[in-house]
Amino acid sequence: MCVYRDLEIFKINHYNLKAASIIIENSGERLKKILLEPYELLEDVDNFIEDSLIFIRNIHKNCPSIEYLSLIFSPSNEHFEEIEKLLKVCRNLKLLLLVIFDHTYEDSTYSYEEKNLKYGQELLKILINSTSNNNLKEIRFCGGCKFSLGALGEFFEKWEGRTLSIITSNYYIYEDEEYKELINKYKNNGIIKDFRCDTYTNVVNMDSKI
């Protein structure tokens, strides 16, 4: 088994979460950047669900110094619980990318829109519960999550961390005047530094300064 004791930056072009987890587990707890680029569609969904869960667990067990982190995951209760644990343990995080891959949308009684709003609300709740007094400066959201006006307002009101930039790949919903008014209110209050929408490719590229 190889041990990567001096590894501080880990980047792979195509996500192989099982291999990534093994490297993280043997990284010597010095990793500061984990950059995954989730461009390709998933074929083996069952393995992805389990592999992404183990991937998140290995990060909060082995990466106490992580500052830049990309996560792609299934929106299960187990995944949300592990993400909350990670955020409570990894207190040096500065930039976080969250990509939801929902493989159940064709089999659900809920509409695609309803599920995206539900997942968005859950993520915001986790962030509120676990990231006060931390170093997070930027959060990026991709995939199956959107924020209702009420959930976003509650998040801004309860956020206790640093002035925050939010980047999302979902465009149209935040062009509504009510969203613009809400975002501008918390920009003026110093809670939000920026709230932007961009292409999926740009948002997942953690080297991109949007």
Domain assignment present for residue 180? The answer is yes
Residue 200: predicted pLDDT: 83
Quick check: 24 and 55 in contact, CB under 8 A? yes
Give how many domains the chain has, as a whole number: 1
Report yes or no on 193 lying in a domain: yes
Question: In whole angstroms, what is the distance from residue 101 CA to residue 81 CA?
Answer: 16
Establish if 198 belongs to a structural domain: yes
Residue 1 lies in a domain: no
Quote the domain boundaries for residue 124: 9-204
- pLDDT at position 205 is 79
Other Cβ atoms closer than 10 A to 110: 12
Convert the pLDDT of each residue in 12-35 to its tens digit: 765 678 888 988 988 888 899 998
**190 occurs within a structural domain:** yes
Q: Is residue 2 part of a domain?
A: no
User: Is position 4 within any domain?
Assistant: no
Whether 143 is in a domain gets the answer yes
| 22-75 tens-digit pLDDT | 889 888 888 999 987 755 555 666 788 898 999 999 999 999 999 999 998 989
The tokens of 121 are what? 């609300």
Summarize pLDDT for 103-153 with one digit per residue, the tens.
765 556 667 788 889 999 999 999 998 866 578 999 999 888 899 999 999
- The CATH number assigned to the domain holding 198 equals 3.80.10.10
DSSP secondary structure string for all residues of 103-116: TTTTT-SS-HHHHH
